[in-house]
Structure 1
Amino acid sequence: MEIGSPVVFTIPIFGGIPVTETVVVEWIVMAVLIIGSALLTRGWQLVPSGVQNVVELIVDGFNKFVESALGDHWKDYAPYLGTVAAFLTIANTISIFGLTPPTKDFSTTSALAIMSIVTVIIASLRARGFFGFLKHFFRSPIDLFINLLDLFVRPLSLAARLFGNIFGAVVIMELIERAVPVVLPAFLSIYFDLFDGLLQMLVFVFLTMLYIEEAIE
């Protein structure tokens, strides 16, 4: 099992741009989300029914989950948190379809973690204002040190936790498939590929929401 991601093909411009397996699977996940969203929201009516009713129930439930933590600010951050949740739901569980989860690659989890921390910083700036943010950041030398440390520790923690759990699940499943190739892998896939993937999505989104909540208090 490689920690890195193999190159699938190279784009012949600027001396050659390598496109790894991680990037290809990410494109597949994004395509599924875009096409799925277009199909699910096609022909929606004022009075929901059928699939529209199910989708609205899921979205409404997620919005209430975000509102319970962020209060009146939930509308500003629910779209980002929902997008991350949708991406991670598919990305973490895509191994069920025989594809390698892009979150097995530390570069993917790092990018998601950096995006989340940038969102947290923006939330703090919007809530406190620029000078209020600086005042909070530089309250004392100790606070300055802690706040600077948080800028590195929090994204590293988010990235490493997601990467470690997904990578570990992929490795365990490969070992099981080699040792017991019949029946057992399919049974354990329900946990390692599905349940664990959804759990890691929830943990990532919850921690990001928690950091935003601290930033806007």
Structure 2
Amino acid sequence: MAAGTSADYIRHHLQNLVYGNHPELGWKFADNAIEAREMGFMAVNVDTLGWSIAMGILFLGIFRFVATRVTKEGVPGGLQNAVEMLLEFSETVVKDSFHGRNPVIAPLALTIFVWILLMNALDLVPVDYIPTIAHALGADYFKIVPTTDPNVTVGLALGVFILILYYSFKIKGPIGFSKELAFTPFNHWLAIPFNLFLEILGLLTKPLSLALRLFGNMYAGEVIFILIALLPFWVQWTLSVPWAIFHILVITLQAFIFMVLTVVYLSAAHESHEGPATPP
């Protein structure tokens, strides 16, 4: 673990375990933040990638385990009840927010909510536990909350953005999608340049807002946990427990918001808006 000032402690806990191609040293793990930045685009945040995959496997494993042991007679167990509640919850959100017909949307909404929720929940693990174990195993840096890494939140948002574009072109067609951009919100030929500016800007801000909202809230929560860890032991328990209880709401709410906005954006991609055939 890093020793030194409070600033060193904070920097240490906010630094990822980075593996990449250093200009002079070849492929290696970064020893500091400056060296990690020098690795450029080819650098990989190993901890972020590992925990993201682990939470995805945990999600799939739990749901597969329940699906193969589902009970229709008698009283189902607590895990089956929890999974069924999540399924019903995601289906309700899709029914309320999605106005098209697409069998992919409900499973996508469920996957987004549960996966992000599991990644966010890692923020409730005390900040020194996993880094201490990682340090004993030889890793100087090790973050465990994937959603505090903008690479993850931007990646999720870009995935949603690609789906928005895909369904916009598939449902509306290239001409229909172009008309929507050109004749919304003002249905007039003279307003096309202004409409294009507004619509393209709005389209691009969707993934940006998704990514920054999730990252900002989770990163701020992690920083607060780190600051609490700098306080005396008895003060830590006084502050960390109430903050952890409140943070349960934060991590759930952020997963819910990401899911709902995804469904809303994809619903808009399935709606058709035709522009005028001739100038009014």
Instruction: Quickly name the TM-score band, shorter chain normalised.
Output: 0.7 to 0.9
Distance 2:241 2:177 in 1: 51
Partner residue in 2 for 1:204: 258
Structure 1: runs of 5+ lacking an equivalent: none
Amino acid at match of 2:61: I
Give the conservation status (yes or no) of the 8 Å contact 1:4–1:105.
Answer: no
The equivalent position to 2:110 in structure 1, one of 82, 90, 102, is 82
2:174 equivalent to 1:130:
yes
Offset, 1:84: 0.7
Partner residue in 2 for 1:23: 49
Q: What do the CA deviations read for 1:104-160 (whole angstroms, capped 9, x no partner)?
A: 001100001111111222232233233211222233222221222123211111111
Partner residue in 2 for 1:5: 16
Give the conservation status (yes or no) of the 8 Å contact 1:176–1:185.
Answer: yes
Partner residue in 2 for 1:120: 164
Offset, 1:54: 4.4
Amino acid at match of 2:236: P
Amino acid at match of 2:257: V
Q: What do the CA deviations read for 1:38-66 (whole angstroms, capped 9, x no partner)?
A: 21212335558514454234312320221
Partner residue in 2 for 1:162: 214
Partner residue in 2 for 1:147: 199
Give the conservation status (yes or no) of the 8 Å contact 1:91–1:103.
Answer: yes
2:127 equivalent to 1:91:
no
Partner residue in 2 for 1:37: 63
Describe the shift of the 1:4–1:130 C-alpha distance in structure 2 as closer, same or farther (beyond 3 A): farther
Q: Is 50-59 or 167-176 further displaced after alignment?
A: 50-59
Distance 1:71 1:149 in 2: 24
Structure 2: runs of 5+ lacking an equivalent: 1-9, 28-42, 131-143, 184-191, 272-280
Describe the shift of the 1:102–1:62 C-alpha distance in structure 2 as closer, same or farther (beyond 3 A): same
Paired residue secondary structure (2:237): coil
Amino acid at match of 1:151: L
Distance 2:228 2:102 in 1: 42
Partner residue in 1 for 2:37: none
Q: Is 17-26 or 40-49 further displaced after alignment?
A: 40-49
Distance 2:241 2:194 in 1: 52
Paired residue secondary structure (2:236): coil
Distance 1:63 1:72 in 2: 14
Percent identical across equivalent pairs? 25
Distance 2:122 2:206 in 1: 26
Larger radius of gyration: 2
Partner residue in 2 for 1:184: 239
Bigger proportion of residues as helix: 1
Q: Is 51-60 or 203-212 further displaced after alignment?
A: 51-60
Distance 1:18 1:175 in 2: 27
Partner residue in 2 for 1:69: 97
TM norm structure 1: 0.85
Distance 1:147 1:47 in 2: 52
TM norm structure 2: 0.67
Paired residue secondary structure (2:101): helix
Paired residue secondary structure (1:181): helix
Amino acid at match of 1:109: T
